[in-house]
Structure 1
Amino acid sequence: MTPRTQARSSAASIRPGSGRLYGVDAARGLALLGMMATHLLPTFESTPELTPTWVVLVFSGRASALFAVLAGVGLALSTGKHRPPAGPELWGARRGIALRALVIAAVGLSLGGLDVNVAIILVHYAVLFLCILPFLGMELKRLCAWAGGWIVGSPVLAYLLRPWFLAPAPPLTLGHNPSWEDVSAPARLLGDIFFTGYYPVFQWLSYFLVGLVVGRLVLDRAMVPVVLLAGGLIIALPAKWLGTAAMQDWGGLEALEKVINSPGYPLENILQVNLTGIPQKDSWWWLASAAPHSGTTLDLLHTSGTAVAVIGAFLLLGRLAEWVDLDLLLPLRGAGAMTLTLYSAHVWAMSGLYGEPVPRGWTENGLYFVQAAIAVAVGVVFALLQRRGPLEWVAHSAARLGRGKVSARR
């Protein structure tokens, strides 16, 4: 093989258009590391003012949203890319995704039985896979309309319906991660998954719809990543500005402090970190916030926009990697291709730290960087070996089983 032929062969091995889009995997790897950071690193500075740390200001709400948007992108890429499936192919794809969701739900319910200070996303993630099935065959314009309408309408409906789910005794909320024991109380489990839990599926379907829209674009066209990067920022930045202005300048913060009626409660800082756990009721001002995990229209717009911008940026980095003939994304794309395995291992490791002090000689930063380094190293090894992670292999096998004869014909 001549040097020129060898260089072309090497470039082809990392070309984003061949096989997996490496930029998508790398973005998923970043989402994984961001979620791990919010689990392990401090949320507030050790000051009386409870100043939020840079970690939560960067990753809280955004990392998990990126994870969910990328799920929608992955579904689009595995079901025809920019050509939605139809007929038997569509039904085969739906069966495959449904069986894949069952595998993810089983892993999530099993992890839910662990004592861990982490809001595990997998059960909600699996339900979102089922909820997106009716949209798989839609053309791009209809998908855009559904995504926009869901972002605008679902927060309002959730605000109106949530009190109904919290009214019974006991309320239809878990207060903990879903586990196998909760299957015996389906009303409470579903109420938590769709409306009252940490990742309310009713609003979070917006992320899967946005991801499906992105995945239905022709991602290997030259300008598409640029449009995603610029368009994502154009949506994300004004949404965050509007939410901040509504709270700080237009009276929203004062109105919500009166609703909470708890003098000294650091609501201003909480709005920058995580609104989960605060009953969003008795004031329409809650819907004007762009706080992380608030599930409002502005929050969904901001986090969806940042996710789309990150995907565009990583697709551009993939193009750069092709141009310089160097796999620049390998550390992140390796971990991003096996997030189910690595996320589950991370949760299991976190359960060993639950209720225990930080081991002597360690810091929270040290624990994070060790776990992140292990995740990256394992991902690189599997990527170089061109192997799926263990749980990814099970989920992929289930999906192939569901697709059945359609997959065989293809």
Structure 2
Amino acid sequence: MPPSRRPGPSSRLVAVDVARCLALLGILVNHLVGGMPSLLLWDVHAVLFATLVGVGAHLGTVGGRASSTVRAGVVRAGVLAVVGLALADLGTRAAIVLLTLAVVTLVATWAARRPTRTVLVAAAVLALVSPALARAGRAASSGPGLPDVGWSDLADPPHALATLLWATSYPAAVWPAFGLLGVAVARAFLPGDGRPPRPVSLALAGGALVLAGRVSSILVLAVTGRTALLDAEARAALEHSGLPDDADRLALVGPYLPSTPSLLVSGGLALLVLAAVCAVCRLPRVPTSPPARALADLGSMTLSAYTLHVLLLPPTERVLAAHPGLDPWWVYAAHVGLLAAVLLTWRRVLPRPLAPGPLEWLTRRAITAVSPRSGPTPDPRPARRRA
């Protein structure tokens, strides 16, 4: 994940970190509360995370920092993959998204150095083709399905790769489209070159994607005489259940549904959330207010926060098994409170090199280790002889 913000950040950077924190809080709701709250969140929290990977990839290239190099992007992806594989082996109730985010990071690192037209074409092709490709991959795969991929699953590399690409809730063949979207919208609406963010235009773009996704789904179903599938789609959404993995699903809209209309709707909703956060963070004194600072600090440490949350899930599940009547919102509040206490204390107490967060610090160290060291450029002219 991208490094934490610097002292005195712009409202744009505060907004991006606050949005990361909100995405993290949404993931915690999905893991700990479920039910109607998860239904209302759709899949926007996870999609927002993937989109912000692309936003961060673009913002990292502004100013030519060493942390924005291709090597740095590869290192970040490697850290995400290593941590994601380890967390998946815990076998918790959470489907681990980090391995897919590693793939998104690689794609976004590539896209951040390409012309905008190339990025848009790649995003469009991926959104149109990858859902059908993922369905074909699932149909051709053998072996039991897995919620995610851990180190132990690498004993069967073909099955692990097929699971990662097509079979999880975050198929890595599909979700890089959100990273490409993040790169494109960051260039257009969060430029970082002295111009202010454009939250209204960002919201209009998000609304257009939502409308395009919903209308295209209805049109395809109407033209093919399958409008009855809209009832099945609504029923699955209300019951928080899945839809049959057949060709019909490619025209429907739903949370975590790998279809082109769903990619458009979910991506658009993520942009609407980001636009709202950007608009609020442009208000006077908001970026420097204590709540915004706390949210932004946690948002700049999301890899550490997500990892700590997943590590807390096994004892949490034991508590829930022993006390089945416990309100899940109390469990949620305990998780959020503990994450905030541990990580904000880390941020406030430790010296600056360690302050960004434990895993963020390790990522920076790894980036420094692989980055070429710069030094004074030698004078190519021959030395003058003294008279």
Taking structure 1 as the reference length, the TM-score comes to: 0.78
CA–CA distance in structure 2, aligned partners of residues 231 and 245 of structure 1? 21
CA–CA distance in structure 2, aligned partners of residues 68 and 329 of structure 1? 22
Q: What is aligned with 2:313?
A: 350
Q: What is aligned with 1:316?
A: 279
Pick aligned residue for 2:334 from 370, 377, 381: 370
Q: What is aligned with 1:16?
A: 10
Listed as ranges, the matches of 1:9-408 within 5 Å are 14-16=8-10, 21-43=13-35, 53=36, 55-80=37-62, 93-164=69-140, 166=141, 168=142, 170=143, 174-217=145-188, 218-219=191-192, 221-222=195-196, 224-240=198-214, 243=217, 252=226, 254=228, 268-272=234-238, 278-281=243-246, 283=247, 285-322=248-285, 326-354=289-317, 356-357=320-321, 359=323, 362-384=326-348, 387-405=355-373
CA–CA distance in structure 1, aligned partners of residues 201 and 281 of structure 2? 15
User: Offset at 1:214?
Assistant: 2.4
Give the 3 Å change call, closer, same or farther, for CA 288–156 of structure 1 in structure 2: same
CA–CA distance in structure 1, aligned partners of residues 374 and 215 of structure 2? 48
Counterpart code for 1:391: L
Using the TM superposition, name which of 355-364 and 57-66 deviates more.
355-364
State the percentage of identical aligned residues.
26
Give the 3 Å change call, closer, same or farther, for CA 174–67 of structure 1 in structure 2: same
Give the 3 Å change call, closer, same or farther, for CA 296–176 of structure 1 in structure 2: closer
User: Offset at 1:142?
Assistant: 1.9
Taking structure 2 as the reference length, the TM-score comes to: 0.82
Give the 3 Å change call, closer, same or farther, for CA 245–272 of structure 1 in structure 2: farther
In structure 2, stretches of 5+ residues that fail to align are 1-5, 378-387
Give the 3 Å change call, closer, same or farther, for CA 98–359 of structure 1 in structure 2: same
CA–CA distance in structure 1, aligned partners of residues 332 and 222 of structure 2? 34
1:207-243, CA deviations, whole angstroms, 9 ceiling, x for partnerless residues? 1111111233414523522211222123224534654
1:126-174, CA deviations, whole angstroms, 9 ceiling, x for partnerless residues? 233234443231022221222222222222332334312x2x3x3xx64
Using the TM superposition, name which of 300-309 and 72-81 deviates more.
72-81
User: Offset at 1:327?
Assistant: 4.8
User: Offset at 1:100?
Assistant: 2.0
Higher relative contact order (CA 8 A, sep 6+): 1
The answer (yes or no) to whether the contact 2:127–2:260 under 8 Å persists in 1 is yes
User: Offset at 1:300?
Assistant: 0.8
Counterpart code for 2:200: V
Using the TM superposition, name which of 196-205 and 214-223 deviates more.
214-223
Counterpart code for 1:395: T
User: Offset at 1:185?
Assistant: 1.2
In structure 1, stretches of 5+ residues that fail to align are 1-11, 44-52, 258-265
The answer (yes or no) to whether the contact 1:25–1:334 under 8 Å persists in 2 is yes
Root-mean-square deviation over aligned CA pairs: 3.3
The answer (yes or no) to whether the contact 1:272–1:292 under 8 Å persists in 2 is no
Give the 3 Å change call, closer, same or farther, for CA 35–248 of structure 1 in structure 2: farther
CA–CA distance in structure 2, aligned partners of residues 106 and 407 of structure 1? 32
Q: What is aligned with 1:48?
A: none
The answer (yes or no) to whether the contact 1:232–1:304 under 8 Å persists in 2 is yes
User: Offset at 1:353?
Assistant: 3.0
